[in-house]
A and B are shown apart, each in its own frame.
Chain A
């Protein structure tokens, strides 16, 4: 039930995000979701792509520092309280969210939340027993 995310190291300077994006575009790799974490001096570009193995190799060969991480994607209703329902399922546990980001899923009134948990397996178990829909890998990317 996990999705593979690629993270790239980028200096916080003009022009440092376009290079990897251009590389993926040239190879026909589709970026399904993305988030950019920034600090004063560096940033981390996190992306979910259709063909992650191909993208990771492409980026590494071009000299980018790439980290492969498993994240959990959850489908929620795009209405007030949708996120609360998800977070409530984890309330009371020791599970920590390292970071999260959201993107619309191209379906009406649905959004996808991407979570990086410190204990992903336990989180998955709790979410599933609360009846929350996890997005299967196949919906976003090739295995």
Chain B
């Protein structure tokens, strides 16, 4: 693929902040976009029908044929695809291209048993790079930037996805991969790094470690972070931006659909623009599976419009978000989704009550201003579920009097009970006793089964 060389904001096209030619498709007129989506939708449904046995049998069960897609609204008549479909057809059962056309395989870490495997043709990789180019450009990156790519390289899609996109953008890529925080900080200091990609919790870890080493991140040329692969909060963004002096952007993606680059924040940081020319979004009620109107919160469902090797029709992401009504101030015509607040997978059922880790986070943030390290531990005593929240005592929380600490524990427990509707035991624990993640945070330990 060729991409035009970059020039400053004066380039032809809508007069918008940070507009870059590589981003031209982000500003496609709505009617053009819908025509493109419809023709791609029909093609991908036909391809899946022709080449994927599971999809064909599901349409046949419903007495449907691929020709039935007359408008974009017809997508709601198609059956959903779910994660267990990928597991059940492990490893290659959903592939729509012969292996000689598949140039890359990735696999996502399964928390239980086998991973799920995803495939790319060369055209798929080109699409992936192009959406990553557009993502990084939306975060204000351009030729000449030095990008420290601290997503893991390997079977995980984060590392290579960001890598090829950044190279194509014209940035200098440092493929440092995840882990080894001291080396990350050395690279950041010595290589003139201007932007970093990693998970937000890992960047918080870098902030803490840099402070311990006496490195002032604010004095480095680092100015942008592209953070994803796990849900995070506005409060985490504020902490990152205040303590490191960078601008923190949210990127969204998942291996099943393509990897990172499904949606990205722009300079407005008010929702993530979905690359709708390649990924068609819907929001459904996860319980009733009915489509929800724009603006309502529910589960994100995506259809890959241009994937060859592994097209997924109406894939249920398990991620909870809402589509943002109205246009964005940046001028992009691509619809936005709210940052992922939680995954429906994260839901814990405690004594019959639905509880999300994000609710615990909201209480800690409201009371402490920043998010301390915490962990939820679920146990069962005499047949009753018990929920304990362990919180690492911060300098701000710690007091030399027992009364102050006990009242803090009680206040946190009361506030959590009000939000969660169940009794929670809050326990203060020593700093650095909750396991730190180099990648994703492990927030819940469920010991109820054992």
- Whether A associates with B in a native complex is yes
- Chain A interface (Cβ < 8 Å from any Cβ of B): 5, 7, 9-11, 16, 37, 39, 41-42, 44, 46, 61, 63-65, 67, 69, 98-99, 116
- Other A-B pairs, 4, CB within 8 Å; known A41-B427, A42-B428: A9-B405, A63-B430, A64-B431, A99-B401
Is B190 in contact with chain A by the CB < 8 A criterion? no
For residue B78, CB closer than 8 A to chain A, the reply is no
Q: By the criterion CB–CB under 8 Å, are B398 and A65 in contact?
A: yes
User: Is B402's CB under 8 angstroms from A65's CB?
Assistant: no
B398 close to A39 (CB less than 8 A): no
Report B's interface with A, CB cutoff 8 A: 212, 393-395, 398-403, 405-406, 409, 427-433
List of A residues within 8 angstroms of B430 by Cβ: 9-11, 16, 63-65
- If the complex has contacts A42-B405, A44-B405, A65-B395, are A5 and B400 also in contact, measured as CB distance less than 8 A? yes
Contacting pair A39 B431 (CB below 8 A): no
What is the CA–CA distance of A65 and B405 in the complex, to the nearest angstrom? 13
Cross-chain contact of A7 among B394, B400, B429 (Cβ < 8 A): B400
Determine the chain A residues whose CB is within 8 A of the CB of B433 once the complex forms. 11
| Residue among B402, B430, B432 with the highest chain A CB neighbour number at 10 A | B430
Partner of A37, one of B394, B395, B402: B402
Asked whether A63 lies within 8 Å of B405 as measured between CB atoms, the reply is no
Residues of chain A within 8 A (CB-CB) of B432 are 63
A9 contacts which of B398, B403, B427 (Cβ < 8 Å)?
A: B398
A65 touches B431 (CB 8 A): yes
In the assembled complex, which residues on chain A have CB atoms less than 8 Å from the CB atom of B399?
A: 7, 67
Most chain A CB neighbours (cut-off 10 Å) among B393, B401, B432, B433:
B401
In the complex, which residues of chain B have a beta carbon less than 8 angstroms from the beta carbon of A69?
400
User: In whole Å, how far is B326's beta carbon from the nearest beta carbon of chain A?
Assistant: 46
Report chain A residues within 8 Å CB of B427: 41-42
> What residues of B have a CB within 8 angstroms of the CB of A44 in the complex?
400-402, 405
User: Is A98 touching B401 in the complex (CB atoms < 8 A)?
Assistant: yes
B372 to A: closest C-beta gap in Å: 11
Q: Are A116 and B429 in contact (CB under 8 A)?
A: no
Q: A7-B400, A46-B400 are in contact. Are A39 and B429 (CB under 8 A)?
A: no
B428 touches A9 (CB 8 A): yes
Q: List 23 A–B pairs whose Cβ atoms lie within 8 Å, in order of A's numbering.
A: A5-B400, A7-B398, A9-B393, A9-B431, A11-B430, A16-B430, A39-B402, A41-B409, A41-B428, A42-B428, A44-B400, A44-B401, A46-B400, A61-B212, A63-B431, A64-B430, A64-B431, A65-B393, A65-B431, A67-B398, A69-B400, A99-B401, A99-B402
